[in-house]
């Protein structure tokens, strides 16, 4: 039985061998220092959106959306947001896929996944594409749990623009709609299970971790 998440499946695309070692040998990639600002922003954004939920309104960033409201089941939202619980699905072999989301919108009784992203620079033309699989997995999980979701999700990007005269940071906001594919999510999940069941695969040529290990081993 394997326990997977959208973030761990990202490793599969980056390097199959690192992915295999993580789940079969419990050998993880070295972890660098993770800045606290993104997690602080994530917490602040959830509190900010929840303040509008209490008022039964949309925040200004979403006011232009038609027929949309914030998901109002607070207890379910707490579970779905939790990194320890989240929303999960178990396949016939007992393998588990679990993810934790930021927020959910509702339109015509269908759910729309909303994910916050904080970055240091303005968006590039293809920035949103880096999160395609993540959103595909979220929608896959919700549908496996019996919820109807739209065929698209939203990415809400925040990046700093300037300071005002009182020293407060102003942020630019970009809302990007991205089409989702649950078929893509299922295909990646099935591929992951097959990789894990087989012998250790070769590493990716672009994997800096495996390249480093190869150099160190060679020097010995």
Domains of the chain: 3-219 (3.90.320)
Structure tokens at 138: 């979220």
Which pLDDT value is given to residue 103?
98
Strand duo 3-4 + 169-179: pairing: unpaired
Which pLDDT value is given to residue 23?
97
Which pLDDT value is given to residue 115?
97
User: b/e for 52-74, b at 16 or more Cβ within 10 A?
Assistant: ebeeeebbebbeeeeebebbeee
Q: Kindly report the backbone phi and psi dihedral angles of residue 175, in degrees, each rounded to the nearest multiple of 5, phi listed first.
A: -100, 120
Which pLDDT value is given to residue 212?
85
Give per-residue pLDDT as tens, 172-190: 999 999 999 999 999 999 9
Residues of the chain with pLDDT under 50: 220
Which pLDDT value is given to residue 218?
53
Q: Is the C-alpha dihedral spanning 17, 197, 7, 31 positive or negative?
A: negative
Which pLDDT value is given to residue 35?
72
- Separation CA 154–CA 131 (nearest Å): 10
């Amino acid at each position: 039985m394997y326990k997977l998440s959208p973030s761990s499946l990202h490793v599969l695309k980056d390097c199959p061998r690192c992915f295999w070692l993580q789940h079969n040998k419990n050998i993880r990639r070295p972890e660098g220092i993770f800045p606290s600002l993104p997690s602080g922003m994530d917490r602040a954004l959830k509190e900010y959106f929840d303040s509008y939920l209490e008022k039964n309104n949309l925040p200004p960033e979403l006011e232009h959306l038609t027929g949309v409201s914030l998901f109002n089941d607070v207890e379910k939202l707490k579970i779905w947001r939790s990194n320890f619980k989240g929303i999960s699905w178990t396949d016939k072999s007992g393998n588990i896929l679990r993810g934790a989301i930021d927020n959910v919108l509702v339109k015509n009784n269908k759910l729309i996944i909303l994910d916050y992203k904080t970055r240091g620079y303005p968006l590039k033309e293809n920035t949103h594409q880096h999160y395609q699989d993540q959103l595909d997995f979220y929608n896959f999980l919700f549908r496996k749990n019996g919820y109807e979701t739209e065929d698209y999700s939203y990415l809400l990007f925040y990046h700093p623009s300037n300071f005002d005269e009182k020293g407060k940071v102003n942020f630019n906001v970009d809302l990007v709609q991205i089409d989702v594919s649950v078929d893509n999510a299922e295909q990646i999940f099935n591929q992951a299970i097959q990789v894990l069941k087989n012998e250790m695969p070769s590493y990716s040529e672009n994997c800096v971790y495996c390249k480093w290990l190869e150099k160190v081993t060679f020097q010995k």
